[in-house]
Amino acid sequence: MAASEDTPAISAVGENSTTQIKCSPNEKIKFKDPLMTGLDKDSDDDGMESLDLEASNKSEEESVSRSSSLIANFRLDDDCDGETRDLFIVVDDPEKHTSTLEAYITFRVTTKTTRDEFEGSDFSVRRRYNDFLWIRHRLEEKYPTHLVPPLPEKHSLKRMDRFSTEFLKVRQTALQKFLTRVADHPVLSFDKCFQIFLTAKAWEFQAHKKQGSGFLTRVSESLNNMSASYMMKNRPPEFALMHDYITLLSDKLGVMDRIAQRVAKEQNDYMAELLEWGPCYTLWANAEDQLAGALLTMSKALDECVRTIKELIDATDNRFAQPIKEYLLYTECIKNVLRRRDAIQNEYDSVIEEIGRRKEEKETIKTSDQTYSIGAFLGKDPEDVKQQKHEKLEQQISDLIRQMEYFNDRTVVANADLKADMERWHKHKQRDLKEIFITLADMHIAYYEKNLAIWESTIRTIQNKDHIQLPSTASINENQDHGIV
């Protein structure tokens, strides 16, 4: 699609292709693609099996009108505020490792940075999926009210071989998106554990992974967050609206995901029919010498149609279905952050309620008669008993007020963190979904244009006299004679 004259276009250049993002004149978007920097792609592990994904990418780049670059394909956390990015991360070079007990895949994580917190500017480490899972859990533990980007699901619903090129390409792209988003986050990117993830050698990283909270602690916190959401009485209107919006968005994306799966099934069924249809013309051509040219041309056209529908199915899955699934995961992340925010506010509200009860109890003691209290039965003066209870309540109220101030500060910080992250997320979501839908439209336009060209060429070929051999007059008379006999 061509951009209008008054709409600026920003180009994000990947290793093999270029994508243009159209934005309104009011949006100031600057994008610096880390793939533009020259990174060494040679593996340091000579004994490992390298799985090259470049060959499978070439055919897709030729058939799809828009870029399929790892970062240009889905740019959630690009630098849209005009600031200079100082942390570039690239995930590539998947390698298969086989041990006595298991086989697994590691990816090379290459980092380039100018930050002073790092002890250098270039780092290259290898990480497996469980390592990515670890860093995400640590970020969630340390920053419970920040929006930590989602990771792809560990197992594919398509039941693909986890060592296949297709699966590794999808997994590599998703891990790239995750690290790019974290690197562009103004808080998460400066975390010490994230720095260790990017720079530590294998043995250092494994030692560091053993630190942190245990499984039971995480389960307990999760249950507490879920119960707090249900017990919430006075959630602020802005967060109530946020919860309703995310729930509605999740439902809409879920419907789109299910429809995309049905369309993909129908397209695969259509491709299977074409695969059966083409050979029919080839076999027919063997029995019809005079129509052989036209029949073989039809068979060739159907083979070309199979190729174009296969390209559309793969491109739709990689550039539409996968991003939609990823935004579904993002909505679940936001719901979890909202639950943790609710848990903090619930603690604050509980302390306020407790302070109210203690104050009421203190007022009741002022006018109460302690003659028949337990202390009086033990020989204490009723006035002394009243005074002791009054002082005890004063101390409890003072402690509760300190707790209230602490939880109030936590609630204010949680609200500010979540609102800031949601503001960024809404801006990126609007741009990304727009790009996803435009890409889907472009892919279908390209698909139908290719099919139109195939059948126009087929018609011209069939109309060519060289491919239609009309029967001679002698053969017609011979056939009529055989019919009379």
At 98 the pLDDT is: 84
Q: How confident is residue 414, by pLDDT bands cut at 50, 70 and 90?
A: very high
Cα gap 175→56, rounded to integer Å: 19
Please state whether beta strands 122-128 and 18-22 pair in parallel, antiparallel, or not at all (unpaired): unpaired
Cα gap 319→313, rounded to integer Å: 10
Contacts of 304 (CB under 8 A, 6+ apart): 450, 454
Question: Is the pLDDT at 250 greater than 90, yes or no?
Answer: yes
At 168 the pLDDT is: 87
Question: Is the pLDDT at 27 greater than 60, yes or no?
Answer: no
List the helix and strand counts (H, then E) for the chain: 12, 6
At 188 the pLDDT is: 93
The number of angstroms, rounded, from the C-alpha of 425 to the middle of its chain's C-alpha atoms is 12
Q: How confident is residue 394, by pLDDT bands cut at 50, 70 and 90?
A: confident
Rg (CA), the chain: 33
Q: How many CB atoms lie within 10 A of CB 105?
A: 20
Cα gap 314→268, rounded to integer Å: 11
Are 10 and 31 within 8 A, CB to CB? yes
Cα gap 61→15, rounded to integer Å: 11
Contacts of 247 (CB under 8 A, 6+ apart): 335
Cα gap 340→392, rounded to integer Å: 33
Are 294 and 467 within 8 A, CB to CB? yes
Q: Which helix (H) or strand (E) holds 91?
A: strand 87-98
Cα gap 78→32, rounded to integer Å: 8
Question: If 0-12 CB within 10 Å is exposed, 13-18 middle and 19+ buried, where does residue 459 land?
Answer: exposed
Q: How many CA atoms does the CB half-sphere of 144 hold within 13 Å?
A: 16
At 102 the pLDDT is: 82
Question: Which of 99-108, 236-245, 456-465 has the highest average model confidence (pLDDT)?
Answer: 236-245
What are the C-alpha distances in Å from 248 to residues 226, 241, 365, 415? 19, 10, 51, 21
Are 188 and 194 within 8 A, CB to CB? yes
Tokens of 398: 């003072």
* Mean of pLDDT over the chain: 77
Question: Is the pLDDT at 446 greater than 90, yes or no?
Answer: yes
Tokens of 361: 């109890």
Tokens of 370: 């302690």
Cα gap 286→283, rounded to integer Å: 5
Cα gap 420→81, rounded to integer Å: 14
At 392 the pLDDT is: 85
Tokens of 204: 């250092």
Tens-place pLDDT, residues 345-393: 988 988 998 898 888 888 887 766 666 566 555 656 667 767 777 788 8
Beta-ladder partners of 49: 96
At 26 the pLDDT is: 44
Contacts of 361 (CB under 8 A, 6+ apart): 393
Contacts of 391 (CB under 8 A, 6+ apart): none
Nearest to 207 by CA among 139, 143, 134: 134
Tokens of 382: 């009723």
Cα gap 171→128, rounded to integer Å: 11
Tokens of 366: 């002022």
Q: Taken in order 82, 88, 91, 93, is the CA torsion positive or negative?
A: positive
Question: Is the pLDDT at 276 greater than 50, yes or no?
Answer: yes
Question: Which of 163-167, 204-208, 466-470 has the highest average model confidence (pLDDT)?
Answer: 204-208
